Amino acid sequence: MKTKTNKPARLRKGLGILFLLMALLGSLVWTVLFRINRFSLSVTTVGDSVVEIEYGGRFEEPGVTVSLHGTRFWKTGIPVSGAKLTMEGQVDEAVLGRYTLVYHASWMGLSAQTERKVCIVDTQSPVIRLTEPPDGFWDGRGSFQEPGFSAVDNYDGDITDQVRILHEPGLVTYSVTDRCGNPASVQRKIPVFDREPPVIELTGGQNLTIGVGKPYTEPGFRAEDAVDGDLTAQVLAEGTVDWLRPGMYDITYSVSDAQGNAASVTRQVEVVAQPRPETQWPQEKTIYLTFDDGPGPHTRRLLDVLDRWNVKATFFVTGFGDTELMKQIVERGHSIGIHTVTHDYETIYSSPEAYFDDLYRMQEIIYAATGVRTTLMRFPGGSSNEVSCALSPGIMTTLTQAVQDAGFQYFDWNVDSDDAGRARDAKTVFENVTEGLAQTRVAMVLQHDIHGYSVDAVEQIIAWGLDRGYAFRPLNEHSPGFHHQVNN
């Protein structure tokens, strides 16, 4: 009778023999590898090998890694698990210092170690707090009273008693350094004990005099305080000067320093009118020939006509005129007066400032050409013009008074040739003038030497006047002005 074979038992036996052979082979392989490769173990810290922890923080252990290295194989190392690890040393976060942690690793008879440096440091500066004074900084005698302060360090604690104090004018500096050398500094600004007000100095003095017609220009001022220094920019100037009307005007300058000490000073500006010359009416019948808007292309011929008849006239000139002819007017014995630089109504009647600017500019032009600083003048359009109403209401009422207070004499007319209007030939100009002359004993004739037909009529007008006993005179400051009714 045949016995049955136990197959599972035989299989287990075979597998056991196989595993034994593999173990023997593996051991042989490792033995050979150890002899030809020479293995070593390494330990590496995870993260930085030197760690700084600010005082008050916590150190969290990052750990280490273990690697196996060979001289021929795995030179760069392969991770090893199951190694035995131990650590020597500990970190006290509550105490500043440098701590060393040593890590040991062992595996299959190999061992290695590494270190990590942990530094507990204090890099934070102390905090200085200033106590605010409840009632100011000063005692009754003006001495500074320290309101108080405190200094606290995150490691050293209260170090108020180590604070150094430096006093300077208007400033106290508090500084302290902790045991780690961290500095702190704060400053307290304090008002300097000051009861003296600033001093205001007025350039040109406290009393000034200007003439009517010259816009007031601030001469300047300066404010200085013994503590706060230059306060000029903070000065408030109040008051105005009406340079068009005679009178006394006050300008008050005021300023206060940081302590509230106030100072003020008043400048009195007197606007003075020039004395008006006495008007002298001629006793005999008189004709004043006046010509506006030149010199022009016909002025030289007109001058020759006047010379032939030995008649003197008056020319109210403009900035358009030939300055050489202005000189000839004066040299031939005629009067010269101001009319306007531009004859631009919209400009010169836009404001009193604009009018006086034009007036003085024309005066200077005449002076430069002739050496005569004339005060004779005629308003463009006359004092009765209404074109200025839309430009600056009331301006002619202001100007007619202001120019006289400024030392000028303005002249209108009572005989109009109408050569700037409907008259367009010498015959009409002559008829208009002589019709007007026949109705008055003293006549101011308005003509324009920029019109040839008006110049053509002059010789006939002179002959007509001389035949009837009229004298021809140039204007001067005492001549009658023949002022029109002002309509604006």
Q: Cα angle at 447 between 443 and 452, to 5 degrees?
A: 145
User: Looking at residue 195, what is its pLDDT?
Assistant: 80
Beta carbons of 470 and 397 less than 8 angstroms apart: no
Helix axes 299-309, 458-467, angle to 10 degrees: 20
Question: Taking the model in full, what pTM does it have?
Answer: 0.63
What is the distance between the alpha carbons of residues 224 and 232, in angstroms, rounded to a whole number? 7
What is the distance between the alpha carbons of residues 205 and 219, in angstroms, rounded to a whole number? 9
Comparing CA positions, the residue from 414, 203, 379 lying closest to residue 289 is 414
What is the distance between the alpha carbons of residues 419 and 393, in angstroms, rounded to a whole number? 28
What is the distance between the alpha carbons of residues 488 and 386, in angstroms, rounded to a whole number? 6
What is the distance between the alpha carbons of residues 15 and 127, in angstroms, rounded to a whole number? 78
Comparing CA positions, the residue from 272, 288, 300 lying closest to residue 479 is 288
User: Looking at residue 17, what is its pLDDT?
Assistant: 73
What is the distance between the alpha carbons of residues 325 and 365, in angstroms, rounded to a whole number? 13
Distances (CA, A) of 45 to 75, 156, 419: 19, 33, 114
Comparing CA positions, the residue from 460, 390, 397, 385 lying closest to residue 428 is 460
- Look-up: residue for tokens 């009416």? 281
Beta carbons of 446 and 475 less than 8 angstroms apart: no
List domains and CATH numbers for the chain.
34-121 (2.60.40.10), 127-189 (2.60.40), 199-272 (2.60.40.10), 286-472 (3.20.20.370)
What is the distance between the alpha carbons of residues 405 and 386, in angstroms, rounded to a whole number? 23
In this structure, is the dihedral angle defined by the CA atoms of residues 323, 329, 330 and 334, taken in order, positive or negative?
Answer: negative
For residue 33, what are the contacts with CB-CB under 8 A and spacing of at least 6?
39, 70, 73
Comparing CA positions, the residue from 238, 396, 412 lying closest to residue 316 is 412
Beta carbons of 364 and 338 less than 8 angstroms apart: no
Name the residue type at position 102: V
Which backbone phi and psi does 7 adopt, to 5 degrees?
-65, -40
User: Looking at residue 29, what is its pLDDT?
Assistant: 59
**Within the chain, which residues score under 70 in pLDDT?**
1-8, 12, 23, 26-37, 134-142, 191-193
What number of other Cβ atoms are within 10 A of residue 444's Cβ?
24
User: Looking at residue 32, what is its pLDDT?
Assistant: 56
